[in-house]
Chain A
């Protein structure tokens, strides 16, 4: 048995539609104060393209394919690593006042 998942045109459209809707709803709830980390964070998420790059490079059979595949992984890895580094750094800067911290330690657990 060949265990592979074939995603046909219509199934793909359904996936795209649901994912787009999810993205729209999730992002709609992000407060304006976090819009910069949100932009870099969503930028980080499309760094998953590096996985596609690795797939393409592993299946490369000519020097040309290897060269382009190498670039795909190089750029994709930069996208993912850089996007994570800046987003994580920015979010760590957002700290509450001390009185809020004391009062709201239980809110964080929600």
Chain B
């Protein structure tokens, strides 16, 4: 009787949690409803975790003597793991968000792989289907764990250079095949089809070792700038692994949550790859960013440096300004300064908008978060497709710390590596100011024709220093219209 009641309670709470996860994600379709969405999902999670302790009422006979110890261990692990991750999540800088998400994602993959390991070592799977699904979940979870850790190390610049060697893709492919073969061998041995000279636990060790190794090898050759796409893929992987282990444990909440995330991660990955003008396989299996020094067409015009103060005053008397921020702005920690300048312009009656490229920042949407952190209201922030036509009717486009995403070569130069990539049409504004540290090229190593245009002036210097000068210059004019 107790068993029936406890299982019904778990069932109902898990059902509610699965609903809240989907409803919470659904509420992320607007910045207005999103904060309550994540809170609802959080309530679902907390309820599911608390309810899961009811499993203690109905454990395997073999585990009964250990029950008190196991409950204690569960509580310690929950408090320890949850506490440390919570503390880190509250403290992490917004610029370091991609690394943090990579770590959390690796943890999820690791947890799914660990559950699979318990099932495998305890030989708990009944039937071929369960065993095969367990092994697949283990493989994907382990790859997600070790791959996410490498992605984290790259984003945190602990690993600085992509590791590449000749025949790498073939070697990685072989490691993947060997891993799958060991998995197949485990299935055959477990079901007595063949007898093995190696004991099954050893085989399981080798299987996990090979899967972890594959995750490392697969991620090492990919450049740091492509890491966001990789994290998104591993996010989908972890979701898939969780969903598969959910099937093994016969837990529909895990199945649904895992699969929703798996599909969501896949969609996000595709969106990102599209914004970078590349295919997912291109990102994973080719060495981008090493040899893209292509022959450039002749560029007419010259770079025209101007003083920051002059540019600031010019914008003060413009009627409309669109700002194109790039990751260089965040590197200079100048978001607050930028918004301070924007507020001065608004007080003087200038209409100001922000235009965000889908791959601005090191992770899609990171630039939006950084601006929001600086206090910029979200209704001033516009995405590429919503604002691109407005540049032509705008007095000034102010490009700060961005380069390739405003390079007109993407529209015109078929030989350019970024040809076809959607770009922000900053060059179509009546006047363009580019704030830049020096004359260097962008990430893709391409000369930017925008900088040489007749309507473009360059403001050289650190973004924070330049904005300070602009603010001083506009303040010095007096603020007759200031609110």
Question: Which residues in A have some Cβ–Cβ distance to B below 8 Å?
Answer: 1, 3-7, 9, 12, 15-16, 19-24, 26-62, 64-66, 68-97, 100, 104, 107-108
Contact = CB atoms under 8 A, between A and B. Distances in A.
B358 interface: yes
A50 B235 CA distance: 16
24 contacts: A4-B250, A19-B263, A27-B25, A34-B368, A35-B268, A39-B101, A39-B232, A41-B28, A43-B108, A46-B239, A47-B104, A49-B112, A52-B115, A54-B49, A54-B53, A57-B118, A59-B60, A62-B122, A68-B114, A70-B77, A77-B80, A80-B49, A81-B89, A84-B42
A79 B111 contact: yes
A58 B67 contact: yes
Interface string B83-122: 1111011101010010011011101101110110111011
Contacts of A74: 77, 80-81
A108 B364 contact: no
Contacts of A71: 77, 110-111, 114
A36 B66 contact: no
Nearest 6 pairs between A and B by C-beta?
A85-B89, A35-B365, A82-B85, A23-B263, A23-B260, A77-B81
B31 to A, nearest CB: 4
B267 interface: yes
B45 interface: yes
A34 B365 contact: yes
B387 to A, nearest CB: 12
Contacts of B38: 37, 41, 44, 84, 87-88, 91
Contact of B78 (A33, A50, A88, A96): A50
Contacts of B258: 19, 46, 48-49
B101 A86 contact: yes
Contacts of A62: 122
A77 B78 contact: yes
B39 A88 contact: yes
B368 A86 contact: no
Given A53-B111, A85-B85, A85-B90, A16 B255 contact: yes
Contact of B259 (A20, A34, A40, A83): A20
Interface string B47-69: 01100110110011011001101
Secondary structure type dominating chain A contacts: helix
B45 A54 contact: no
Interface of B: 3-4, 7-8, 11, 14, 17, 21-22, 24-26, 28-35, 37-39, 41-42, 45, 48-49, 52-53, 55-56, 59-60, 62-63, 66-67, 69-71, 73-74, 76-86, 88-90, 92, 94, 97, 100-101, 103-105, 107-108, 110-112, 114-115, 117-119, 121-122, 129, 231-232, 235, 238-239, 242-243, 245-247, 249-268, 271, 356, 358, 361, 363-366, 368-369, 372-373, 375, 377-381, 383-384
Greatest chain B CB density within 10 A among A21, A35, A42, A44 is at: A42
Nearest to A7: B250
Contacts of A86: 89, 92, 97, 100-101, 104
B358 to A, nearest CB: 6
A37 to B, nearest CB: 7
B377 A9 contact: no
A1 B4 contact: yes
A11 to B, nearest CB: 9
Contacts of A91: 31, 34-35, 37-38
Contacts of A43: 101, 104-105, 108, 235, 238, 261
A19 B255 contact: yes
Given A42-B235, A45-B261, A95-B375, A85 B245 contact: no
A79 B104 contact: yes
A33 B85 CA distance: 25
Contacts of B257: 19, 45-46, 48
A32 B364 contact: yes
A36 B366 CA distance: 6
Contacts of B34: 34, 37, 91, 94
Contacts of B368: 32-36, 94
A29 B92 CA distance: 28
A36 B267 contact: no
A75 B363 CA distance: 24
Contacts of A15: 252, 255-256, 259
Nearest to B8: A3
Given A47-B45, A75-B107, A5 B378 contact: no
A50 B363 CA distance: 26
Nearest to B144: A46
B377 A27 contact: no
